[in-house]
Amino acid sequence: MTSNSWKNKGKSINVFGRKLFVIDTGLVSSLTEKPLKETLVILHGYPTSSYDYYKVLPVLIKKYRVIIHDHLGFGFSNKPLDYSYSLIEQADFALQLWKQLNVTKITLLAHDYGTSIATEILARHNKQQIDLQINKLIICNGSIHIELSQLRTIQKLLKSKITGKWVAKLTSYTIFKKNLRNVYFDKTKVTEEELKEMWFQLKQNNGRKVIHLLSNYINERYYFWHRWIGALKETQIPTKIIWAKNDPVAVATIANLLAKEISNNKLFWIENCGHFPMLEKPNEWSKLVLE
C-alpha cells in the first residue's frame, strides 16, 4: 500500500493546537454493519508510523473499532521544532485525542516506542487520574526494560545531545533502509516499496529535523524507569504479551521479565520473527491479538 492510500484512510485532527493524523474505523464494521462493542487503540513504534499496521488493519476491524494515530513528530502528524517530544506529552496527546473521539472504554495495544506511552497512561490509570476504562492491555516488542535493550548504534548516536543533530542531518535512505532491514528476522519480508513508503513518511513535514529530538525517549526510559515499570507491576488489567522471539533490539529476555512482573498476563511467542511482527508475520500476529 502506498503512503497516499494510507493517508486517504485517515484525517488530521487538531489536538492542543497541533495536527495529528488519525485513522478511526468508526463504530460500524463494514462486514457486519452492526455496532462494535470494543474499541482498540494502537500506539505505534519508532521511527515509523501508523503505517506499520496497514497489513493487519483489515483483520482487526472485523472485531474492533480501531483508532490509530501518528504520534506528534511521526508520519503525517505535525513535526514542530519548538517541542520537547517527551513521552509524557505524547501520553497527553493520546488521551486528549481519545477524549475528543468520545472514547471511554478501550483495549490498549502498544508496540516499541508506544509501550512507554502506554505505561505512562497506566501509571495515571492506577492512580485514578484519568477517566478511561482499560479492559485489556496488549504489549508487543518494546524495550520497556531499557537496561536489557540491545540498542542499535544509530539509536545511541541520535539520542546524544552532542551527535544527534549531525547524525540526523547525515541520515540517508540507504542508512535508514539498512537499519530497518536489520531488525527483521527474515529480511525478504520487507520490500523496497515498503521501505520507501516508511522513509517518505519519516521525511514528511521536515521530519529529519526532529528525528534526533524523538530519540530522547531512550533517555526518558531510564529516567522514568521506576514510574513505568512500577505501573506494570501494579496494574490488574488483563495483559497479553505478544513477542517476536528473534527481535535483536527488544530481546526475548524483556518479555520473560515482564511475564514475571505483570500479575494478570499471558505471554505468546512468535517464532522466527524480528522487531515488527505486524509486518513480518501479520497473520500470526493478528490471530494472537484477536484470540
**Residue 171 pLDDT:** 75
Q: Which residues of the chain have pLDDT under 70?
A: 27-37, 151-170
Q: What is the CATH number of the domain that holds 18?
A: 3.40.50.1820
**Residue 153 pLDDT:** 58
* Helix 225-234 × helix 252-261 angle, to 10°: 60
Grid coordinates of 71: 504520534
**Residue 149 pLDDT:** 86
d(CA 237, CA 137): 7
The DSSP output letter for 35 is B
47 prior amide bond cis, ω within 30: yes
Pick from 20, 79, 27, 26: nearest CA to 50 = 20
d(CA 227, CA 123): 7
**Residue 89 pLDDT:** 97
Domain extent for 28: 3-290
Neighbours of 141 (CB within 10 A): 30
DSSP 83-140: ----HHHHHHHHHHHHHHTT--EEEEEEETHHHHHHHHHHHHHHTT-S--EEEEEEEE
Q: Tell me which amino acid residue 170 is.
A: L
- How many folded domains does the chain comprise? 1
How much is the pTM?
0.93
**Residue 150 pLDDT:** 73
Helix ranges (DSSP H) in the chain:
3-7, 57-60, 87-100, 113-126, 153-159, 164-170, 173-181, 192-203, 211-214, 217-223, 225-234, 252-261, 277-280, 282-290
